[in-house]
Amino acid sequence: MTYQNYSLKQLQQIDAAHHLHPFTDHKELREIGSRIITRADGPFIYDSEGTEILDGMAGLWCVNVGYGRNELADAAYRQMKELPYYNSFFKCSTPTPVLLSRRLAEIAPKGVSQVFYGSSGSEANDTALRLVRHYWALMGKPEKNRIISRKNAYHGSTVAGTSLGGMDAMHKQLGGAVPNIVHVMMPYAYELALPGESDHDFGLRAAKAVEDAIVEAGQENVAAFIGEPIMGAGGVKIPPASYWPEVQRICRKYDVLLMLDEVITGYGRTGEWFAADYYGIQPDTITTAKALTSGYQPLSALLVGERVAATLVEKGGEFYHGYTYSGHPVACAVALANLDIIAREGLVERVKTDTGPYFAKALQERIAGHDLVGEVRSVGLMGAIEIVKDKATKERFLPAGSAAVTVRDHAIANNMMLRATGDTMILSPPLIWTRDTIDMACERIAKALDLAKNDLR
């Protein structure tokens, strides 16, 4: 029996009876009932009532090639018929992860040429944490194992992902984090720059917090620094241009590995294949997932730089780590087909030269001037709108986060899916968006802001 045999009400009741959702207040969900999305095509999703909604979040930052790509379904179908599964443990492999690894090495930033697979971004960050600590142990420095991260970072929801992340609410529920991970300030000028401090100087000061943490621990005790090139779930926080080059300089000075979490920024979102290229830095590890398959299959790839990978080979010894679905043949087949689409349609270049700049201009010209908007910002097709009560003083509405939820609810009611996190509205659309889609989104967001203003005043 398919879902078409059920009414919306029935599906909501079954959902409430049996389905625990991620990051959800279940009491609230039971009262409201879930929104049930039943199909999607191109840039649109459709709910069980047939309502067409423009998806400003690419699902959850992942559907970069848009919905309805038969090519990806065909790739999965062919692979499932030929070989649905075999593992890559015990010196075995299957063709699609082999070919995908070479393909990723071709598009990865300079010096990054090996791949370790998982099924999610969280798993890939677990791998990254284990791997950098293993690396230093192989180098005869097992005590060099502290990881420096940032407050408000999001690195996933497993125990390691939560520990690496800097979300207070998540840490409070963790009941004990992975030891020896510390968090320094995030590079978010709108809230943290001092009066009169330039963006450039603020970026250097935020990078200095990384240096201070290394010096405080002693460089002989610090394995790595991890960061999202642009903080995503924390509110699309775009660092000043001075930040990443300075962080890289500091990491090199103290022989600390640089780990980037590109689960959101990887595969074209910034207008480069990887944000490492956007910021001109050469990390030692790059965590990727989401848009690797455009969300059509669960797959993550930890891209590993030559320094770490070569050490695994030279020193030998088993790395006691891996997942049943590491290098899953179907997921890897879909990833290969997905990367083909991104390349063939020139989506990365289009974000860089056309839609990214148009998106930035549209946000500035059509959203930034609204009374409720303190700041808009974007890189490529990744943007944020800060909701404030007072533009001049940056005063927020109380309780914190409530105003953004009001705007979001009006946006969704107006057929525009976007996300609210704290007092920030987030946009991360499929890379297939055109200038027309951006116009449509701005129109709907502007209307949602107007409606929210009436509610909030």
Minimum distance of ligand PLP from residue 225's CB (angstroms): 15
Q: Which stretch binds ligand PLP (CB under 6 A): 121-129, 373-381, 411-419, 424-432?
A: 121-129
- Contacting residue, 247, 289, 376, 407, with ligand PLP by CB under 6 A: 289
Residue listed under structure tokens 């199909």: 39
Instruction: Give whichever of 147 and 372 is closer to ligand PLP, judged by the CB atom.
Output: 147
Round to whole Å and give the CA distance between 284 and 139. Answer: 15
Instruction: Give whichever of 233 and 403 is closer to ligand PLP, judged by the CB atom.
Output: 233
DSSP strand E in 64-131: where? 112-118
Torsion of CA 337, 260, 301, 180, to 10 degrees: -160
Per CB under 6 A, does 261 bind ligand PLP? yes
The closest of 221, 273, 267, 278 to 245, measured between CA atoms, is: 278
Per CB under 6 A, does 155 bind ligand PLP? yes
State the number of binding residues for ligand PLP (CB under 6 A): 14
Minimum distance of ligand PLP from residue 237's CB (angstroms): 12
- Contacting residue, 75, 167, 233, 256, with ligand PLP by CB under 6 A: 233
Round to whole Å and give the CA distance between 208 and 231. Answer: 18
- Contacting residue, 264, 331, 442, 449, with ligand PLP by CB under 6 A: 264
Minimum distance of ligand PLP from residue 122's CB (angstroms): 3
Amino acid at 76: A
Per CB under 6 A, does 120 bind ligand PLP? yes
Minimum distance of ligand PLP from residue 51's CB (angstroms): 25
Q: Which residue is nearest to ligand PLP (CB)?
A: 121
Q: What SS3 class is residue 217?
A: helix
CB count within 10 Å of CB 446 equals 16
Round to whole Å and give the CA distance between 214 and 250. Answer: 9
Site string for ligand PLP, 402-421 (x = CB under 6 A): --------------------
Q: Which stretch binds ligand PLP (CB under 6 A): 28-36, 100-108, 152-160, 426-434?
A: 152-160
Residues written for the chain: 457
The CA angle 353-357-358, to the nearest 5 degrees, is 110
Q: Which stretch binds ligand PLP (CB under 6 A): 64-72, 261-269, 322-330, 360-368?
A: 261-269
Minimum distance of ligand PLP from residue 101's CB (angstroms): 20
Name every residue whose Cβ is closer than 8 Å to that of residue 38 and which is 6 or more positions away in sequence. Answer: 3, 46, 47, 48
Site for ligand PLP in 308-347 (CB under 6 A): none
Round to whole Å and give the CA distance between 55 and 50. Answer: 14
Cβ 387 vs Cβ 425: under 8 Å: yes
Cβ 415 vs Cβ 409: under 8 Å: no
Minimum distance of ligand PLP from residue 73's CB (angstroms): 21
Per CB under 6 A, does 126 bind ligand PLP? no
For residue 239, the number of C-alpha atoms closer than 13 Å in the C-beta half-sphere is 27
Per CB under 6 A, does 202 bind ligand PLP? no
Cβ 223 vs Cβ 147: under 8 Å: yes
Per CB under 6 A, does 156 bind ligand PLP? yes
Round to whole Å and give the CA distance between 56 and 375. Answer: 18
Q: Which stretch binds ligand PLP (CB under 6 A): 119-127, 168-176, 319-327, 385-393?
A: 119-127
Round to whole Å and give the CA distance between 269 and 299. Answer: 17
Per CB under 6 A, does 122 bind ligand PLP? yes
Question: Residue 282 is encoded by which pair of tokens?
Answer: 């050469």
Report how far apart, in Å, the C-alpha atoms of 62 and of each of 18, 51, 128, 156 are.
Answer: 26, 22, 21, 14
Minimum distance of ligand PLP from residue 389's CB (angstroms): 28
Minimum distance of ligand PLP from residue 253's CB (angstroms): 26
Report how far apart, in Å, the C-alpha atoms of 160 and of each of 116, 130, 181, 266 are.
Answer: 17, 9, 10, 21
Helices and strands in the chain: count of H runs, count of E runs: 18, 15
Minimum distance of ligand PLP from residue 275's CB (angstroms): 11
Minimum distance of ligand PLP from residue 439's CB (angstroms): 28
Per CB under 6 A, does 232 bind ligand PLP? yes
Q: Which stretch binds ligand PLP (CB under 6 A): 212-220, 260-268, 410-418, 427-435?
A: 260-268
Per CB under 6 A, does 427 bind ligand PLP? no
Per CB under 6 A, does 297 bind ligand PLP? no
- Contacting residue, 67, 116, 117, 154, with ligand PLP by CB under 6 A: 154
Minimum distance of ligand PLP from residue 96's CB (angstroms): 20
Per CB under 6 A, does 227 bind ligand PLP? no
Query: b/e map of 412-439 (b: 16 or more CB within 10 Å)?
Result: bebebbbbbbebbbbbbbbbbbeeebbe
Round to whole Å and give the CA distance between 270 and 188. Answer: 18
Chain positions contacting ligand PLP, by CB under 6 A: 120-122, 125, 154-156, 228, 232-233, 261, 263-264, 289
